[in-house]
Structure 1
Amino acid sequence: MKIVVNLDVMLAKRKMSLTELADKVGVTMSNLSILKNGKAKAVRFSTLASLCEVLDCQPGDLLAAEPAETQEPK
């Protein structure tokens, strides 16, 4: 199973830039970019809570589980 971060979707819905979100949440642009691009290995609950508060959403609006891609045997 793969966890997908839908931060870009919520930013578009709220008509907010990544820079504006970083300022309001108190997280660096680079860390938010890593999260947005799906490169993050973990996210603190406090950061997730702050993102949800600023974006007026639930954690499930930002995170989704997708089946892992299966590779065909060689």
Structure 2
Amino acid sequence: MAIIINIDVMLAKRKMSVTELSERVGITMANLSILKNGKAKAVRFSTLDAICKHLDCQPGDILEYTSDEGTQ
């Protein structure tokens, strides 16, 4: 997939654990792990909003697009 999820980067910058973020955002550890490992097929805007709020960042700090050229 051409979308890269950089939650780990933001967690490290904010010195926050995955457990702490999941509790603050109100999603399960399993769902947060699926999202941060790039396995999620979708993310709700309300979830993205909560993640950005608690990590004090912009959506572009978490989501990154890279060209998928050459793969089909």
Q: Would you call these one fold, judging by a TM-score over 0.5?
A: yes
C-alpha deviations, 1:11-60, integer Å up to 9, x for none?
Answer: 00000000000000001000000001000000000000000000000000
Give the equivalent residue in structure 1 for 2:67: 67
Query: Which segments of 5 or more consecutive residues in structure 1 lack a partner in the other structure?
Result: none
Paired AA for residue 44 in structure 2 = R
Quote how far apart the aligned CAs of 1:69 are.
4.8
Aligned twin of 1:28: 28
Cα root mean square deviation, aligned: 1.2
State the shift of 1:70 in Å: 1.4
CA distance in 1, matches of 2:37, 2:63: 13
Q: Superposed, which structure 2 residues align to 1:4-43 within 5 Å?
A: 4-43=4-43
| Structure 2 Cα separation of the partners of residues 7 and 42 of structure 1 | 15
Alignment gaps of 5+ in structure 2: none
Q: What's the TM-score, normalizing by structure 2?
A: 0.94
Q: How many residue pairs end up in the alignment?
A: 71
Moved over 6 A (4+): none
Letter in 2 for 1:60: G
Q: TM-score, normalised by structure 1?
A: 0.91
